[in-house]
Amino acid sequence: MFQAINAGLPVVVQILNAGNAITAFSLLFYTLTFNLRERSARTLALLLGCLAIVYATDVLAGTAVLDSEKALWLQVQWLGISFVPAAYMHLSDALLAATGRPSRGRRHWVIRAGYLFSILAFVLAALTPQLIGELSYVGPIAYRTAGPFFFAFATFYLASLSFTGVNLWRAYRRSLTKVSRRRMRYLMFGSLAPFLGTFPFLTATGGLVPQVPSLTWILLIGANLLVAAQLVLMSYAVAYFGVSFPDRVVKARLFQWILRGPIVASATLATTVLVNRVGIVLGVENSRAVPITMVATILALQFIITLARPTVERWLFYGQDRNDVERLHLLEQRLLTSGDLRQYLESILNAACDITSAPSGFVAVVREGTVELEVAVGPEDPLEGAEDLPPVLLAEDQVEIENLGAVFRWNGYWLTPLQAPEAGEVAGILGLKTTVHPKDLEPEAVEGLSLLRERATVALTNRALQREVFAAVDRLVPLVEEIQHMRSVARYGNLQSLALPFEKGTGDAGLADLVKKALGHYWGGPRLTASPLLGLRVVRDAMVDHDGNAVNALRSILLTAIDRVRPGGERRFTAEWMLYNILELKFLQGRKVRDVAMRLAMSEADLYRKQKVAIESVAKAMAEMEREATTSRKSGTT
């Protein structure tokens, strides 16, 4: 029994080494995927890369057969070991800078010196016997003996550990909130993982280990488990730096990443190795059970995670906000998108055409006093021969049909308004091109057509309500992002960020999106009257010249920004004037895309590309105007 346990302990150590390599690689990819712009996250990625190299080469050396191969992998391992001290110091400096204490030069020079020492250490380990010596063994464990300069490297390693500890303590002292201080404690505890996982203890002690082999393996198992937990804690703490997402989103995203990455991969590896070992004991090598077990483990774990994860996240991460989050998830699942609406209306139109024997039909949406084609079926174009869709209340002919209401005649189509009884407003128009007079329809056909009209009305009404929700979200998201960003940076002591102007927090892409929406409703509409741009200082200053009317002030600022895009001299229709002409024709004159493209002699696709550049130019001009207003306000108060 004890012999079997002792024989299995080295296998467990190899599995845990591989699991730590998988965990380090997975957390490295997580950091590079979600938080690459944050300096502390980039330095953590470098440190995780070093750890992944150390553990991966340790597994390769442990499974190698030839001594020369073991020696080679243990030499390659120093690519990770050598750079851990410098990456350690770099991470601590980035964390301290994130709390509002950037380096004044001294820490940067120390870090540069650390990277030079790391490069020198790797060169010595790779090309000379001065840092590490010959291959040696402690039982089945292979290691490289210490060279003449090894203890100089060990001193450098311990010095970097001290430098890191001091910086982390200073960052902890500068953290403001209870939550940020708790996460900084997690980070300080987790930062021991690189030291425990990468320092060559056997090389430093000359192969000194406990005399009881099983005790050695148990210590290695405990150390590997501790390192895995510390890696997760360290990545968890750094994941919050510089992100504008709520805490629950960061937690849930990291939790899912760990479940579907390290947990699934490590469990699959463990079961595969176990089945393979059992097959060898039973005398069945290269058993077909190994790939079957691998596939079954992956599928079973993915199935369990898919079922259990939502419930676990809801109870662990959402807290008192659980009901609000569930409502948002319900909205996401039940949302009626534009594509869903078109598919649904197409099915209704096809059914209506079948009932009335109409070859074609259309549904148009009434939005902000205009009628827009939503979907059409059949071979004929409802707009052919007509400049526009029909007005809602004007028609050439009108009849009253029982159970159907008023039906209008227009351009060969019979039109029926899609009007919700409780709303009292026309949501759209259902048009059918048929030679059959509505009065000649069978009662069953009229009843079926009435039912289809009600369903189309419900769909359009719900879609209009969702548009209002989206409009509110469009106004809310930039402000929420700004608050979340300020919350994340101020939590760790960077209070100066709270005084940054609006446009710095919003970013060029966000500002350009707001400008595009405001220009789309330049002559009136919710995207102008409820735009977050109304909060700009330059707009508030301009309200003085517009009798306190914020909308007129924003309209004037947009016009001024467009004028800044205008080239000098007399207006021409040349490439130099292209951006201004697009802005003037499309937004100030309100012409249709087709007319603007014909006027400027370009395709509609090219017009959309040029329009994006023009809007970005207006956004840059507004950002410059905001900076000027902020600067003048500051100079006026000093």
**Backbone φ and ψ of 606, nearest 5°:** -65, -35
Q: Is the pLDDT of residue 17 over 70?
A: yes
Where along the chain do the CATH 3.30.450.40 domains lie?
Answer: 338-465
The confidence score (pLDDT) of residue 604 equals 76
Tell if the pTM clears 0.95, that is, is over it: no
> What value does the mean pLDDT of the chain take?
81
Q: Which residue has the tokens 């010596």?
A: 133
User: What is the SS3 assignment for 65?
Assistant: coil
Query: Directed axis angle between helix 67-76 and helix 78-98, to 10°?
Result: 20
Listed ranges 13-27, 329-343, 457-471, 505-519; the one with the highest mean pLDDT: 13-27
The confidence score (pLDDT) of residue 432 equals 86
Contact status, residue 265 vs residue 26, Cβ threshold 8 Å: yes
**Rounded average pLDDT over 174-195:** 83
Q: Is the pLDDT of residue 22 over 50?
A: yes
**Rounded average pLDDT over 560-583:** 83
Cβ-proximal residues to 129 (8 Å cutoff; 6+ apart), any chain: 147
User: What is the SS3 assignment for 383?
Assistant: coil
Helix (H) or strand (E) holding 428: strand 426-433
Give the residue from 346, 378, 379, 340 showing the smallest Cα distance to 363: 346
The confidence score (pLDDT) of residue 201 equals 86
Q: How confident is the model at residue 132 (pLDDT cuts 50, 70, 90)?
A: very high
Token pair belonging to 505: 């927090």
Strand pairing report for 360-367 and 141-146: unpaired
Q: Is the pLDDT of residue 498 over 60?
A: no
The confidence score (pLDDT) of residue 488 equals 57
The confidence score (pLDDT) of residue 32 equals 86
Q: How confident is the model at residue 486 (pLDDT cuts 50, 70, 90)?
A: low
Give the residue from 112, 121, 94 showing the smallest Cα distance to 35: 94
Contact status, residue 345 vs residue 363, Cβ threshold 8 Å: yes
Token pair belonging to 469: 């929700």
Q: How confident is the model at residue 57 (pLDDT cuts 50, 70, 90)?
A: very high
Residues 241, 247, 253, 257: is their CA dihedral positive or negative? Answer: positive
**Rounded average pLDDT over 154-171:** 92
Q: How confident is the model at residue 204 (pLDDT cuts 50, 70, 90)?
A: confident
Span 358-382, pLDDT tens digits: 888 888 887 766 677 888 887 766 6
The confidence score (pLDDT) of residue 466 equals 77
Architecture label for domain 2-242:
Up-down Bundle (1.20)
Cβ-proximal residues to 87 (8 Å cutoff; 6+ apart), any chain: 43, 46, 47, 50, 194
**Rounded average pLDDT over 176-189:** 84
Kindly state the percentage of the chain with pLDDT values over 70: 85
The confidence score (pLDDT) of residue 502 equals 45
User: What is the SS3 assignment for 375?
Assistant: strand
The confidence score (pLDDT) of residue 496 equals 47
**Rounded average pLDDT over 108-120:** 94
Q: How confident is the model at residue 113 (pLDDT cuts 50, 70, 90)?
A: very high
Contact status, residue 264 vs residue 302, Cβ threshold 8 Å: yes
User: Measured between alpha carbons, how far is 133 from 71 in angstroms, rounded to an integer?
Assistant: 10
The confidence score (pLDDT) of residue 637 equals 46
Q: Is the pLDDT of residue 42 over 80?
A: yes
Token pair belonging to 351: 């059914």
DSSP sequence for 262-311: IIHHHHHHHHHHHHHHHHHHTT-TT-THHHHHHHHHHHHHHHHHHHHHHH
In this structure, which amino acid lies at residue 170? R
User: Measured between alpha carbons, how far is 206 from 638 in angstroms, rounded to an integer?
Assistant: 67
Listed ranges 272-281, 380-389, 557-566; the one with the highest mean pLDDT: 557-566
The confidence score (pLDDT) of residue 266 equals 92
The confidence score (pLDDT) of residue 500 equals 45
The confidence score (pLDDT) of residue 638 equals 46
Give the residue from 369, 436, 438, 382 showing the smallest Cα distance to 410: 382
DSSP sequence for 552-565: HHHHHHHHHHHHHH
Q: Is the pLDDT of residue 612 over 70?
A: yes
The confidence score (pLDDT) of residue 302 equals 93
Contact status, residue 398 vs residue 407, Cβ threshold 8 Å: yes
User: Measured between alpha carbons, how far is 465 from 481 in angstroms, rounded to an integer?
Assistant: 24
Cβ-proximal residues to 151 (8 Å cutoff; 6+ apart), any chain: 204
**Rounded average pLDDT over 87-91:** 92
User: What is the SS3 assignment for 416?
Assistant: strand
Q: How confident is the model at residue 510 (pLDDT cuts 50, 70, 90)?
A: low
Cβ-proximal residues to 371 (8 Å cutoff; 6+ apart), any chain: 364, 365, 388, 389, 390, 391, 392, 429
**Rounded average pLDDT over 181-189:** 87
Q: Is the pLDDT of residue 493 over 60?
A: no
Q: Which residue has the tokens 């947990």?
A: 263
The confidence score (pLDDT) of residue 505 equals 40
User: Measured between alpha carbons, how far is 214 from 47 in angstroms, rounded to an integer?
Assistant: 31
**Rounded average pLDDT over 569-582:** 80
Of the candidate ranges 235-244, 286-295, 483-492, 498-507, the one whose mean pLDDT is the lowest = 498-507
Where along the chain do the CATH 1.20.1070.10 domains lie?
Answer: 2-242
User: Measured between alpha carbons, how far is 553 from 418 in angstroms, rounded to an integer?
Assistant: 38
- The CATH class of the 338-465 domain is alpha beta
Give the residue from 383, 374, 373, 378 showing the smallest Cα distance to 340: 374
Contact status, residue 302 vs residue 256, Cβ threshold 8 Å: no
Kindly state the percentage of the chain with pLDDT values over 90: 20
Listed ranges 181-190, 299-308, 316-325, 404-413; the one with the highest mean pLDDT: 299-308
**Distance, C-alpha 378 to centroid of its chain:** 41
Of the candidate ranges 29-33, 274-278, 344-348, 524-528, the one whose mean pLDDT is the lowest = 524-528
Contact status, residue 59 vs residue 21, Cβ threshold 8 Å: yes
The confidence score (pLDDT) of residue 474 equals 64
